[in-house]
Structure formats: C-alpha cells, structure tokens
A and B are shown apart, each in its own frame.
Chain A
Amino acid sequence: MKTDAKKYSNSITEFIKKYNTYLMLAVCLIICMVISPDFLTLTNLFNISRQYAALTVVSMGMLLVIATGGIDLSVGSYLACGSVLVAIFINSGLGLIPAILLDVALGLVCGTLSGVLVAKFKMPAFIVTMAMMTIIRGAAFILSNGSPIRTPSNTISQLGQNTVAHIIPLLLVLALVVVAIFAFVINRTSFGRIVLATGSNENCVRLSGIRVNYYLIAVYAISGLCATLGGVMAASRTGIGTPLYGEGLELDAIAACVIGGASLSGGTGSAVKTVVGVLVLALIGNIMNLLSVPSYPQDVIKGLIIIASVLLQIFTSSKKETA
C-alpha cells in the first residue's frame, strides 16, 4: 500500500517535471480568463500575438546561442538598429523586400563578428555581446540622429497590418514559420545536434573531429539575424524605426528560453517550449494591462514573476544533484 502511494506521488512529480513549462502557461491562461472576459476574444489574442511576434523571433536566435552555453546580450540593440536601418533604407527609395534583406544581412554580419570574437579569440560571450550591445545601440542613435524615423504609410507598416485569410496577422504567421524552422533545425538536423552537443561538452565535440568554431560563429550570426528581423517586425507595427526599441529585450528573450526549459550552461533547448516561454511572458504582461497596473510596478512584478518561474523550472527539473 505504502509503495503504491509513493509510486503515485512519484508519477505526479514526474509529470510536473516533464510538463512544467506547459503547466505554467495553463496557470497564466486560467488567471487571464478569470480576470477578464475580454481576454479570450480574437481581437485581444491577435493583438498579443502582434505585440510578441518580434520577441518570439528574437528568442529563437537566443535559444541557439544559449544551447551552446553562450549568451547574447546584444539582441535588443540589434532590434533597435534593425528598425532604424530598415526605415532609412525604405526612405532612401529601396523597395520593401530589398530593404529588409539588406537590413537582415547586416545583422548577420555583425552577429558573425561577435561569433568570431567568442569562438576564435575565446572571449567570454557575456563581454563580447555586452560591448556589441552598446556599440549597436550607439550606432542606431547615430544613424537616426536620436529621433524616430517615419516611413511612408504604404510600405513597411503594410507588413504589420496585413493579415492572412483576412484575420490572422501576417506577423504571427511569420513568427510561426520561424519557430517551425528552428524546431526542425534543432531536432532534425546535424546542425542542431552539434549545437546542443557543443553546449553539453565542447571539448568532446572538438575531439570528435567537428569544427566547433563554425557552429559557434553560426549561432551568434543567426542570433544577430533574428534580432534584426525582430527590428523589422517592430518597425512594421508602427511604421517607425527608432533607437529606443528593444530596451531590456535581451532579458525577456533569455527568460523565455529559460522558462522553456533551456539551461544556461548549454546542451538543452526546445523551440516550441521557448514559444511557450514567450507566451507566459506575454500573458503576464497582458494580465497586468488588463488589471491596469501602472508601468513601473509592472516591471517590478514582471521581474519577480520571471524569477519565480525560473526557480520553479530549476526545482522541478533538478537533475544535476546525485553523484
């Protein structure tokens, strides 16, 4: 009898361990639905999705970096600079698509630079990307003269307002496509497998005859690309590019990955769960908006909730202990 009870409680903890990210989401969802009858309306849901599409894409890049055991603090700056540059390119007469491609390519190049510093010169990712954070944010201010850049209304803001099948926001579709690509890459390709392996034990991967540096450089490059694409998405919602976008965004992206079960020491990471992490953050924000909590207390509360949810994550997935 006793062992039965034990087994039962064991299987419950196993369940919580396995699905804690989803449980967190469920709790947030329920709270939202209880607090506000407006929550479950399509308008509200699509609004949220527009608002968080950029973070989702940024988090995907971050996830790859974290999976290698690194970190990218510069994503918020990339987002700002990406929004500024895409606006500048459009205003200089470039077509929408070429403007976006050029913008994103620049993000890729800068990300590659961080990657080279981390992989080849063995600089700590924290330092490299922190320096990159101020450099790129500074560049965004220089390029924009410190003021928002408007774009003609029929260009990039089209992207933000357009819908698929008259109802689903294009930004949401774009974000979902990116997530699908990342989920595939992480789970099904040798690239994904090597990235995770590198995070687990870089030494072993190198001695297995794999050019670890290529992969390290690639993840920072991809993160730069994703964050810049995030900038394009942010600009598309308002039609404005500004160096003020994305302040503190790196923390949200990191939080989304960690809530999604990624370990900061590398070797783990799931694209889908990271999206759930983004959703948890989105719902926390939404709850507070629905309750009309003012903005500064919002930050405090959000910070606390992130700590709490990450703690929960750590406690329920405590696998490290045991010799």
Chain B
Amino acid sequence: MGSEYLVEMENISKRFSGVKALDNMNFKLGKGEIHALIGENGAGKSTLMNILAGAFPSDEGTIKIDGKIRKISSPKVSRELGISVIHQELMLAPHLTVAENIFIDRLSSKGGVINWKKLKQDAKDILTKLGFGDIDPNARIMDLSVAYQQVVEICKSLSRNVKILVLDEPTAVLTFNEIQKLFVLLRNIRDQGMGVIYISHRLEEIFELCDKITVMKDGCYIGDYDTKNISKDELIEKMVGRELTTLFPKRNAEIGDIVLEVKNLNAGRMVKNISFNIRKGEVVGFSGLVGAGRTETMRAIFGADKIDSGTITYFGKEVVFKSPYEAVKNGIGFLPEDRKQQGILLDMPIRNNVTLTALKKVTKASVIRQKADKGLAESILKEVSAKYHALSDKVSSLSGGNQQKVALSKWLAADCKLMILDEPTRGVDVGAKSEIYKIINDLAESGIAVIMISSEMEEILNMSDRVYVMRRGSITGELPKEDLQDVNIMKLCVGE
C-alpha cells in the first residue's frame, strides 16, 4: 500500500571537492501533488534532483520512494523506480529526429529491426495528445527551436512509465501559450495520482500551478509551505533571506540619436521585411511567441547569418556585417538564447569565458597579462554578483543562473555600443534578475542601446521603452511606452 509520500529525501548532504552543495536537505513529495522546489541560483536544487535521478550519489542521507528506502545508484535504477528528470540543460541527440529521440531507448521492436512507420506514428500520437501536434516527428532536433526541443524532451519522459516527473526550469524557454499547454498537461498528470516536482524561478507560475512549495537556501532546508497560505513577498524573503524591495529598478536614461536603423531586412525564411530602429540609451523590447523570428533577425544583423536584402544603418553609416567579428569590432554585443551551445565555453575556466571578448584589453603583443586578465574577470563578475568558487573553475560547475551571469559578463567586458540580449534572465533567480535589470539600466544610462528579446511578459512590460512584436518572421506592431499592456502585446503576438 505504500506511504502517503512518493518521495522522501532525508538529511541529504553533498559536497563537490570541498564545497558544500547540500547540507542536511529534506524534501517530501506527496501523491497527486505538484510540488515546487525553489531557491536562489546555486541553492542546490539541480544537485538534489540529480541525486534523485541517480546522476551521482549523496554523501549522506536516505531516500525513500513509496515508503521504501532505496539506494539510487545509477540513472537506470532511478528510471526503473518511475522517476523521470527533465534537466535544465537539454539532453537530446541533435542529429536524430524527434521520433527517434522520444523512443531513443526502445527504438527496435522485433529482433533489432526498427519499424519506422510505427515509430513515427507513435511519436505523432504522443505529441498530439500533449497538444503539440504541429511538431513534425521527422524533423531533426537541431532544426527545432529551443522551445520545441524542450517539448520533445518532456514528451520523451512522459512516454515512459513515470510516477514522479521532475521538471528543472521547463518554462525557461517556453512562451505563454506553450506554458499554458504545459500546465494543462501537468495538472492532468497530477490528477492521475503522479507526482510532479517543479523547479522554476518564475514565482507567478508557481502560484498558478503548484500545490506545495519547498524553499531551500545555500543547500539547506528552509521550509514547506502551502501555496494558498503564503504570499509572493513572503516567499521571496524566505528565498533570498532579505526583503526584495523592487524587482524592476528605476531607470534614468537619456534617449539620444538613432544608433541602429534596419529597413526591409530579409534573411532566410524567418526574417521577412523587418524594419525597426533603436536610439542611444533606449531599451527596446522584442516580444513574440517562440519561433517568431526574433533571434533570427538579430543573428542576421549581427553577421551570424546571411542577409538576403534590406539596409542596416549603424551610427549613420550603411553597413553589412559579414561576420560576428565585424559586428563586435563595431561595438555590438550579442547574448545568445542558447547558453550551453552558443553562450559559454562549458569546459573552460570561468576566467577564460569572461575575458574572451576582451582579450585585446588584457594582452600585450598577444601575451596575456595575467594580472590584468584576472582583475578584469573579477571586477566584472563582481558587478553582476556571480557566485563562484575560483576563477579557474570550469563554468560547468556553476549553477544555471551563474552560468548565465558569466555569459553576460563576457559582453560587459567588451565595451559595446549596442547590446542585443536574447532572453537575458533565463534561468536566473529573482534576486539576480533584479541585478541583471539593474545592469541593463546601467548600460542604458551610460548611453548604450539595448535590444532585449524576451518571452517574459512582465520583463517586457517593465523594462522596455518601446516594444516591437514579431509573429512568423514579421513585425506585427510597435508599441510606445504608453501603450505597453499585456493585452496589446498578446494581440500582436497571435496576430489579431
């Protein structure tokens, strides 16, 4: 008959080469419950879930599944216990198709032969059932947007016999519609008696979706709360350990001359006839659903993709950047949305990442001046209040949010005049979000033009001086400050 809890993790401790990531942490998940696990960047959420997933063992503590003490010694054991973890960093085979990825561990049916027709049909069925019938099972993962990759990842685990589904920041890459679809799905799962552990930095979502909340801080257990009985502010205070007065700090930037003017830009299939401009000291938001072509537009301007037609005027001069090198040389910075693939060097030390764009500043006759290099890295990381152990640690040892700060630091080191930020606060905790907003404000106040692509409504509404909304590769509207309202944006997003 089991116990009333699906998962009980008690007194879990874990160290990484001397640094304590978890310290006597407790976590309980009940049946038919969507349970949020929250805490700042580096609090240890992913580490706790990795232990549950069998990625590595805990140093101390016990885990009970369904009331029985279990030793989760490998990912396989974890899977057999009905646990499925969808990681913060996607784990799909990029060259394989959607169908192959969903069924990756049971591709063959009879005697090792793959029944392709059935495989594709099964994949299609699952996708349709989950409300994502528009994803082609034959598409290769690498050709999908990050959001759709995420959806495939979720489908992959739901297609298995799961009892406990762990989602580590699933919505970081999704937009409103997709989030809503996901929520319907998760509630469905809950009502069937399964348990869902939900990690997110977006508190609105947690209040909308979750039944219970566990807060952790610096690897320690802080408390369990019912969503009904706690307010957002209280929750933030528990998480951060202090009161957070304003998430969106005030900006006092002087808006000046036009920095960039794009006219009738066409590039590939996803960028159609784009025209917009941005001024000095201005923060211009780009809103839209995932796949609206925002990233593609910016990549074309940045010289990462080819331009088919149109004109780009940058500081009064008509330009075409043929490569990111030329764009960066002219003072443009670009923080990509896909952190792991494009934003950071995971296997490299933190320091090498931060000063990558500014090597000229810290070298003399291309010999690196160690002190200058270290100093620059340290001062910028301090500016973004990144949490790290040593500059020589690999970026992969940082928590997701701190990795994002490293990615951003790289561009702060580069002295840009135009900064393009693609989902700048993805996976970043509330405290750090506010810090990143502060950095964006500082950039604007120092006269830098900031383009901010964001799928987070609140962020778009509060940070932008002006917003362009894109849909299917075209700009559907421009909203000045006074018209910034979520209904207006939503309308333009879906094209009404």
With A211-B323, A267-B348, A323-B53 already in contact, the answer to whether A204 and B342 are too (CB < 8 A) is yes
Q: B327: which A residues are within 8 A, CB to CB?
A: 209
Cβ of A41 < 8 Å from any Cβ of B? no
Query: Which of B385-415 touch A at CB < 8 Å?
Result: 410, 414
| Nearest residue, chain B, Cβ from A267 | B347
Is A122 an interface residue when CB atoms closer than 8 A count as contact?
Answer: no
- Near B by CB (< 8 A), chain A positions 7-54 give 14
The contact of B50 among A189, A193, A204, A322, by CB within 8 Å, is: A322
B343 in the interface (beta carbon within 8 A): yes
Chain A residues whose CB sits within 8 angstroms of the CB of B468 once the complex forms:
none
CB distance from A208 to the nearest CB of B (A): 5
CB pair B366–A201 under 8 Å, yes or no, is: no
Question: Is A206 close to B, CB under 8 A?
Answer: yes
* Cα-based distance from A243 to B346 in the complex (angstroms): 43
B368 touches A188 (CB 8 A): yes
B367, A188: Cβ atoms under 8 Å?
yes
Is the beta-carbon distance between A211 and B345 smaller than 8 angstroms?
Answer: no
With A201-B341, A203-B342, A209-B327 as given contacts, are A190 and B347 in contact (CB-CB < 8 Å)?
no
Asked whether B347 lies within 8 Å of A200 as measured between CB atoms, the reply is yes
* Contact B324–A189 (Cβ < 8 Å): no
Q: Is the CB of B368 within 8 A of A200?
A: no
Q: CB distance B366 to A189 under 8 Å?
A: yes
Is B87 a contact partner of A323 (Cβ separation < 8 A)?
Answer: yes
Task: Name the one of A188, A210, A267, A268 contacting B356, with C-beta atoms under 8 angstroms.
Answer: A210
What is the CB-to-nearest-CB distance from B3 to chain A, in angstroms, rounded to a whole number?
A: 28
**Contact string against A for B residues 353-386, beta-carbon threshold 8 Å, 1 for contact and 0 otherwise:** 0001101100100111000000000000000000
Which of A14, A191, A196, A203 has a CB less than 8 Å from the CB of B348? A196
Q: Do B325 and A210 touch (CB < 8 A)?
A: yes
Give chain B residues whose Cβ lies under 8 Å from the Cβ of A197.
Answer: 345, 348, 352, 356
Kindly identify, within residues 40 to 92 of chain B, every residue whose CB is under 8 Å from any CB belonging to chain A. 50, 53, 55-56, 75, 85, 87, 89, 91
Find out whether the CB atom of A201 lies under 8 angstroms from the CB atom of B325: no
A208 CA to B356 CA, complexed, in Å = 7
With A and B bound together, what is the CA distance between A205 and B341 in angstroms?
A: 10
Per-residue interface assignment for chain B, residues 13 to 43, with 1 indicating a CB less than 8 Å from any chain A CB and 0 otherwise: 0000100000000000000000000000000
CB neighbours (8 Å) of A322 from chain B are 50, 55-56
Q: Digit string of B289-328 for contact with A (CB within 8 Å is 1, else 0)?
A: 0000000000000101000000000000000000111011
Complex Cα gap A55–B89 (Å): 41
B274 to chain A, nearest CB (A): 20
Q: Beyond A188-B368, A197-B348, A323-B50, is A203–B357 a contact (Cβ under 8 Å)?
A: no
Would you call B345 and A204 a contact (CB within 8 A)? yes
Taking each of B56, B87, B347, which has the highest tally of chain A beta carbons within 10 Å of its own beta carbon?
B347
Most buried by B among A201, A203, A206, A323: A323
A165 within 8 A of B: no
Q: How far is the CA of A188 from the CA of B367 in the complex (A)?
A: 6
Which of A207, A210, A322 gathers most chain B CB within 10 Å?
A: A207
A321 to B347, alpha carbons, bound, how many Å? 13
B324 touches A193 (CB 8 A): no
- Cα-based distance from A204 to B337 in the complex (angstroms): 12
Contacts of A189 in B (CB 8 A): 363, 366-368
Q: Within the complex, what minimum Cβ distance (angstroms) separates A27 from chain B?
A: 26
Residues of A within 8 A of B345 (CB): 197, 200-201, 204-205, 267
- Is the beta-carbon distance between A208 and B410 smaller than 8 angstroms? yes
Query: Does A194 lie at the interface of the complex (its beta carbon under 8 Å from any beta carbon of B)?
Result: yes
Which residues of A lie under 8 Å from residue B366 when comparing CB positions? Answer: 189-191
Verify B348–A200 contact, CB threshold 8 A. Answer: yes
A201 and B344 contacting across the interface, CB-CB below 8 Å: yes
Are B342's CB and A190's CB within 8 A? Answer: no
Closest Cβ of chain A to B399, distance in Å, is: 14
State the Cβ distance, B365 to closest chain A Cβ, in Å.
9
Pairwise interchain contact B363-A190, C-beta atoms closer than 8 A: yes
A 264-279 contacts with B by CB, 8 A: 267-268
A203-B341 in contact given A197-B352, A209-B329, A267-B347 (Cβ < 8 Å): yes
Task: Using known A-B contacts A201-B341, A323-B50, A323-B91, determine if residue A209 contacts B357 with beta carbons closer than 8 Å.
Answer: yes
Which chain A positions have C-beta within 8 A of B89?
323
Q: Write the chain A residue with the least CB distance to B16.
A: A322
Q: Is the CB of A193 within 8 A of B368?
A: yes
Q: Closest CB-CB distance, A284 to chain B, in whole Å?
A: 30
Bound form: Cα–Cα A205–B302 in Å:
14
List of B residues within 8 angstroms of A210 by Cβ: 324-325, 356
Within 8 Å CB of B410, what residues of A?
208
Chain A residues, CB < 8 A from B368: 188-190, 193
Q: Contact between A206 and B343 (Cβ–Cβ < 8 Å)?
A: no
Given contacts A204-B343, A323-B87, contact A209 B348 (CB under 8 A): no
Further 18 A-B residue pairs, CB within 8 A, beyond A189-B366, A204-B342 = A14-B17, A188-B367, A188-B368, A189-B368, A191-B366, A197-B352, A200-B345, A201-B347, A204-B344, A207-B334, A207-B336, A207-B342, A208-B356, A208-B410, A209-B325, A267-B345, A267-B348, A323-B75
A-B contact pairs, 23 of them (CB 8 A): A14-B17, A189-B366, A189-B368, A190-B363, A197-B348, A200-B346, A200-B348, A201-B341, A201-B344, A204-B342, A204-B343, A205-B345, A206-B323, A207-B343, A209-B328, A210-B325, A211-B323, A267-B348, A322-B50, A322-B55, A323-B53, A323-B89, A323-B91
Which A residues lie at the B interface, using CB under 8 A?
Answer: 14, 188-191, 193-194, 196-197, 200-201, 203-211, 267-268, 322-323
6 smallest A-B Cβ distances: which pairs?
A209-B328, A190-B359, A323-B55, A200-B345, A211-B325, A200-B347
